[in-house]
Amino acid sequence: MHNFHIPVMGIGFTLDTPVKVAHLGISSVISLLDDILIEKMREFYCNKFEIPYQEISNKVEDFRAKRITSYLNTLDKIVKDKFNELKNSASELGKEFEKYMELLPDISPLKQKFIEFQNDIHKKKEHLQWIISHLTTGDIDVNIMTKLDKSNYLNGEVQPVEYNDAHAALRGFANSNLNSSVVLSAGMNPRLYAYFEKLNDFFPDENGLLKKRIILKVSDYRSAIIQGKFFAKKGLWVSEYRIESGLNCGGHAFPTQGHLMGPILEEFKKNRDELINSTFELYTASLKAQQRSCPQQPPSIKITAQGGVGTHQEHEFLLNYYQLNSIGWGSPFLLVPEVVNVDKNTLKLLSDAKEKDLYLSDTSPLGVPFNTLRSNTKDIEKQDWIDTGKPGSPCPKKYGAINMEGMCTGSRQYQRTKIKELDALNLDQAEYKKAFDKITVKSCICVGLGTTPLLVNDLDIKVEGNAVSVCPGPNLAYFDKVLSLREMVDHIYGRTNVLRDNNRPNMFINELVLYFNYLNTDIKNASKPLSIKQIDYYKNFKNNLLDGINYYFSLVENLGQNICNINVDLLQKYKHELDELVIN
């Protein structure tokens, strides 16, 4: 129904977003990381919608997978019930039915038919029947961070690999009633990918249809085709490649070596047929070898993008020029409490945030750069613990305990251990502080990113506390007020403009600036003298940025500045600064 989707945000921000938007035809993604939070939310929604609830305790065998399955089935039931109510109210133009129609893009055939229905008194019944038959729900997609695949124990013994966190989450999704997709993020996990072979819903039925589908979040074409072929050799089809900017995004950032979004999208555009055909050949060969149903034509495939999109013009340009199927709008939806879980304090911080308040931090225990917001209450709590001589978090959930020592680097246990080791080194004050800060900067984001649904719904926070981590992308700086769903969707489709500043640079320019600053900071912080390997890395990074700038120059030359809205003067400025950058 729509050509935008709402990506996963944190752990709790979009955990129940499908309940709020799926019946209106809008697709969204929820995190499957925290089964403890998921169980609390299932109880909440069962009570709210009068659905029988029976607790799944952590004493039950395979409790993590079962909690996830039960929660997804609960969401599925609620969405279907709301959708059926919406359809049944169509003849009386019920409030939710009209909302469904109003939100649609103006070019939607369904919306055009609705306009005919309103204007043609002689064919009202015919038009209405056609409209009702073409209504669909948005997808309830799920996200699994592939690296968060911690082993689990029972009675002191390590359990088989299928009980690892990511494996159990995948099984929970596969066993659910949903007809939707799993979004795999944070890189390749061959052991997890191999587990898909044991889950029948990911294989085509006798009609060639897939009940469960695979979406890969990727940063470049090379990664996409490698992973796509890996799955295809197992008889598994990747239904969507979701391209995300390496730096101009929310949450964890996975920067490329200076490869920019525009050239990456261009490569996907040029090689789309190659991607489909090369994977389909491997796919059919594997299905035949397994004596499974084999489609004659490649199943449908989508190419989508997300990261830093902020205007209707950018949205349309990405869709039309790069021939994309959908655009992800993430961080701006953090200002839409009608859609996501955001407590009042965090909402105020987000709406007031300027460029200086949104930064790439070392906060994440995963050792990956993490976009965050200054003065978030989880960081304030972290500093309070440091100031009182108790650095680190109590670590009640341990989802990030994936290092070689079996501890989360944000935990109190880990930080105490490392500070004791540091104390024994007898460093001078400056060196000690630098090393101390490097240890204690890590925060318990696996709890902090899941706190908001508990606060918003007035649920028990005895285990989690009330401190909140939040992970907006840099693009949020240009949005400065709380919005309704209608206002946000109207902004996406160009029916209104909610930006605080019409001088906002184009998303491609914003990403270029982020990469330029990232390169400079990395060189500045690197130990000197630079090794030959470091010099080669930085030179390649610089050259890739210059190639990206030249690509944008050619884009403006071929299409015109009004179409792609790229500021040539800014391109020239950063080209000059890169030319002047000496790496040795």
- 200 CB burial (10 A radius; 0-12, 13-18, 19+): exposed
* 281: phi then psi, degrees, rounded to nearest 5: -60, -45
Distance CA 338, CA 482 (A): 10
pLDDT of residue 404: 67
Which of 480, 181, 496 shows the shortest CA–CA distance to 311? Answer: 496
Q: Residue-wise over 9-42: b if at least 16 C-beta within 10 A, else e?
A: bbbbbbbbbbbbbbbbbbbbbbbbbbbbbbbbbb
pLDDT of residue 400: 85
Please tell me which residue, 568 or 93, carries the higher pLDDT value. 568
For 387, the enclosing helix (H) or strand (E) is helix 377-387
* 127: phi then psi, degrees, rounded to nearest 5: -65, -40
The pair of structure tokens assigned to 452 is 């908001």
Domain extents for the chain? 4-334, 341-475, 505-580
Q: What is the pLDDT of residues 14-68, one digit of tens each?
A: 999 999 999 999 999 999 999 999 999 999 999 999 999 999 999 999 999 999 9
Distance CA 175, CA 71 (A): 11
Distance CA 231, CA 212 (A): 14
Q: What is the mean pLDDT of the chain?
A: 95
Q: Give the position of tokens 């052991």.
A: 191
Which of 9, 323, 32 shows the shortest CA–CA distance to 149? Answer: 32
Say which residues have a Cβ less than 8 Å from residue 462's Cβ, sequence separation at least 6.
none
Q: What is the pLDDT of residues 180-218, one digit of tens each?
A: 999 999 889 999 999 999 999 999 999 999 999 999 999
pLDDT of residue 263: 98
pLDDT of residue 1: 86
Say which residues have a Cβ less than 8 Å from residue 251's Cβ, sequence separation at least 6.
8, 9, 10, 370, 371, 471, 473
Please state the rounded mean pLDDT for residues 123-129: 84
For 240, the enclosing helix (H) or strand (E) is strand 238-244
Contact 270, 229 (CB under 8 A): no
Distance CA 392, CA 412 (A): 4
Distance CA 57, CA 133 (A): 41
pLDDT over 90 (residue 96): yes
The pair of structure tokens assigned to 502 is 């019409």
